[in-house]
């Protein structure tokens, strides 16, 4: 069965709603991410903080903050479904409008790769859940964690940054 553009559009709209709703919930929680009186960020935990800082933050969190971080990571699973499915659907919508065989193949590949980005995000959360329980982070795990995080961001951003501008074009497939 061939999935038509309308089905991809419906999936995109559903994904967008899930993305916005879960992002709102997660953003609401972020103001409670306090460590030693300062706010820490998920982006910091993902990318900018050193291994020592991540370990220190996770080791020094009060129980209520740990719970909020766990809730945030739980909402992140719904966010993942929304964002990666949405990017994949958008890639497929644009693919259907494209006349270029090469671009159609690239968009299909990027849509399919969103499953890899999703898997990377799941692995990232597993690392964080484990480190909340035991914040003694070894260098190998931290390096692997960063590889997973970087792969996730590259795949997701590549799909989004290619599909969004192309979706704004008004070309139709002939």
d(CA 39, CA 20): 23
Encode pLDDT of 52-75 as tens digits.
999 999 999 999 999 999 999 999
Average pLDDT over residues 32-46: 94
Query: Is 121 within the bounds of a domain?
Result: yes
Query: Is 111 within the bounds of a domain?
Result: yes
Give bridge partners of residue 34 from the DSSP assignment.
Answer: 39
Query: Is 173 within the bounds of a domain?
Result: no
* 61 DSSP assignment: -
Percent of the chain with pLDDT over 90: 92
Q: How many distinct structural domains can be found in the chain?
A: 1
- Whether the pLDDT of residue 3 is over 90: the answer is no
Q: How confident is the model at residue 173 (pLDDT cuts 50, 70, 90)?
A: low
Query: Is 174 within the bounds of a domain?
Result: no
String of DSSP letters for 114-172: HHHHHHHHHHHHHHHHHHHH-----HHHHHHHHHHHHHHHHHHHHHHHHHHHHHTS---
Q: What is the residue range of 110's domain?
A: 5-28+39-164
Q: How confident is the model at residue 1 (pLDDT cuts 50, 70, 90)?
A: very low
Average pLDDT over residues 151-172: 90
Query: Is 169 within the bounds of a domain?
Result: no
- Whether the pLDDT of residue 174 is over 70: the answer is no
- Whether the pLDDT of residue 29 is over 50: the answer is yes
Query: Is 132 within the bounds of a domain?
Result: yes
3-state secondary structure of 104: helix
Query: Is 64 within the bounds of a domain?
Result: yes
Give the residue carrying structure tokens 């709703």. Answer: 21
Does pTM top 0.75 for this prediction?
Answer: yes
């Amino acid at each position: 069965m061939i999935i038509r553009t309308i089905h991809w559009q419906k999936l995109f709209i559903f994904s967008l709603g899930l993305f916005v709703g879960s992002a709102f919930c997660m953003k609401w929680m972020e103001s409670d991410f306090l460590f030693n009186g300062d706010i820490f960020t998920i982006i910091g935990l993902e990318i900018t903080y050193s291994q020592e800082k991540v370990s220190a933050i996770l080791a020094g969190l009060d129980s209520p903050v740990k719970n909020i971080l766990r809730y945030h990571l739980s909402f992140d699973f719904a966010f993942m479904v929304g964002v990666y499915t949405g990017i994949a659907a958008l890639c497929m919508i644009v693919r259907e409008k494209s006349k270029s065989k090469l671009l159609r193949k690239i968009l299909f590949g990027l849509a399919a790769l969103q499953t890899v980005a999703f898997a990377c995000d799941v692995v990232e959360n597993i690392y964080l859940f484990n480190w909340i329980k035991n914040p003694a982070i070894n260098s190998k795990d931290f390096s692997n964690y960063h590889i997973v995080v970087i792969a996730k961001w590259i795949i997701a951003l590549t799909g989004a940054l290619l599909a969004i501008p192309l979706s704004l074009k008004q070309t139709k497939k002939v």
